[in-house]
Amino acid sequence: MLDKLNRLFLVILIYICLYGLIVLFQPEIIFNNKFKCLRQFGVGYKNTTILPLWLVSIIFAIISYFIVLYSLHICYNTIFINV
């Protein structure tokens, strides 16, 4: 079974890949491509968004952790994983 350091490395690797994809593709909902900058958090204005980069990166961190947990669950077929 993977030890804690390898799990952490795998979580960080998945997180960096997801974050890199966002920075590479620069979706319009996060970036303002007209002014080449990030959109601010807010609603009701044209240059604001409900998904700023800081919120997306927190969500990606949580998702990458659960991806590793789920893949270990599938691989070792256990109900509980010793974290």
Give the pLDDT score at 56: 98
Q: What residues contact residue 31 under an 8 Å CB cut-off, 6+ apart?
A: 37, 38, 39
**Domain residue limits at 57:** 4-76
Give the pLDDT score at 14: 97
Give the pLDDT score at 3: 75
Domain-embedded: residue 27: yes
Q: What pTM did the predictor assign? A: 0.85
Query: How many domains in the chain?
Result: 1
- In our burial notation (b when 16+ CB lie closer than 10 A, e otherwise), range 55-72 reads ebeeebbeebbeebeeeb
Q: How far apart are CA 34 and CA 39, in angstroms?
A: 11
Closest of 8, 81, 41 to residue 16, by C-alpha: 8
Domain-embedded: residue 11: yes
Domain-embedded: residue 56: yes
Question: What are the average pLDDT values for consecutive 10-residue runs of the chain, which has 83 residues?
Answer: 82 97 97 94 93 97 94 76 59
